[in-house]
Chain A
């Protein structure tokens, strides 16, 4: 896969922005993006901003859980469920 080890330009790195931040790239392409970011302050700053945005979204939205009463309601409906399994 040596073709993938070609140095990436700015556009090449930007095209993989979210795949990089989401950990969805193959190791060699991930390394190529990282090398570009090491060498390009402008792309580094943008990736850093986008990374912060995703972490902000995660931190602020993932804590919300189901109401305790809902869990009790579901357990009750399952316990009382008399229907035969659907096939």
Chain B
């Protein structure tokens, strides 16, 4: 092994590998399947290692890795992925949930009773564009600019996808909470 190979591995372990958790989490939500998520993560990290010379040290390694992940996912998985039942996005109205809970539970404490599995299912049920935007923002905490760079759309598109994605997610979790009896449905 040459000195430069050694350096490359060391730099990669120090700068890229700490973001494996983020890569895996996003892979899991993009693919909706743990074993696919592992394969996607491994492939992403190996691709990143092989193109490590393209990474500028000190820049945003996480965003760089997530961009590679997204391309890998789109190229290999999305086309073959079973098409999920899509939500009617035109049905999203402004602030669908708050008016229904403002009297009974204005702080939204009912959310706390929802189990993790249901939260993941609700995220996984979002249409692709909304799901990736919500995951990058709310699960990974990336800025609008970072999300725009990773997903290749203008910041304005990130904003509208985030708005609709969050409202869809919130509505689904609210409906689930009502169904489970965590709170009473507001009288119409």
Residues of B within 8 A of A56 (CB): 108, 111-112
| A74 near B20: Cβ-Cβ < 8 Å | yes
**Which B residue sits closest to A57, measured CB to CB?**
B138
Q: How far apart sit A37 and B46, CA to CA, in the bound complex (Å)?
A: 48
| A64 near B46: Cβ-Cβ < 8 Å | no
Q: How far apart sit A54 and B144, CA to CA, in the bound complex (Å)?
A: 15
> How many chain-B residues does the 8 Å CB contact rule pick out?
50
Chain A residues within 8 Å of B, Cβ to Cβ: 14, 17-19, 22, 24, 45-46, 48-50, 52-54, 56-58, 60-62, 64-67, 70-71, 73-75, 77-79, 81, 83, 85-87
Residues of A within 8 A of B137 (CB): 22
Q: Does B98 contact A (CB under 8 A)?
A: yes
| A78 near B102: Cβ-Cβ < 8 Å | no
| A64 near B28: Cβ-Cβ < 8 Å | yes
Pairs of residues from A and B, 10 with the lowest C-beta to C-beta distance, nearest first: A66-B24, A65-B21, A57-B138, A61-B139, A56-B111, A52-B108, A74-B45, A86-B50, A66-B20, A86-B51
